[in-house]
């Protein structure tokens, strides 16, 4: 699997390329992995996932230590002790600027590199 096979239309490819640029600019050491339905980025653990949903929408999931409340976040799910995921529906590459400006990409990368103290217990 590769980007061209997963992100089949220009909008999907543009969102993927913008996310990849932003993520790797923040942390070049992240590993990118393509699966049948998504691309993920991670370090000690995966922390960012992007999956095409329809021709006009993609699903972005970011790891987090705590829940966040913001109109831009479509859903927050608890994944275990001190683990949450923030979920976003993305319809344009420009939307990633707001996600980065709010610090959610950087927080997800931090989450991917560290093991929270509560998880070690």
Classify residue 33: in a domain, yes or no. yes
Q: What is the pTM of this model?
A: 0.90
Instruction: State both tokens at 36.
Output: 């049948």
Per-residue pLDDT of the chain (121 residues; tens, 9 = 90+): 899 999 999 999 999 999 999 999 999 999 999 999 999 999 888 999 999 998 899 999 999 988 999 999 999 999 876 689 999 999 999 999 999 999 999 999 998 987 555 444 4
User: What's the total number of domains in the chain?
Assistant: 1
d(CA 52, CA 111): 23
Within-domain flag for 120: no
CATH classification of the domain holding 44: 3.30.1460
Q: How many residues appear in the chain?
A: 121
């Amino acid at each position: 699997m590769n980007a061209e096979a997963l992100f089949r239309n220009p909008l999907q490819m543009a969102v993927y390329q913008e996310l990849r640029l932003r993520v790797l600019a923040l942390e070049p050491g992240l590993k990118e992995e393509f699966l049948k339905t998504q691309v993920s980025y991670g370090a000690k653990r995966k922390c960012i996932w992007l999956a095409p949903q329809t021709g006009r929408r993609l699903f972005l999931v970011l790891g987090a230590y705590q829940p966040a409340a913001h109109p831009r976040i479509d859903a927050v799910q608890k994944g275990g002790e001190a683990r949450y995921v923030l979920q976003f529906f993305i319809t344009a590459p420009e939307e990633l600027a707001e996600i980065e400006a709010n610090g959610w990409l950087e927080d997800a990368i931090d989450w991917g590199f560290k093991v929270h103290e509560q998880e070690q217990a």
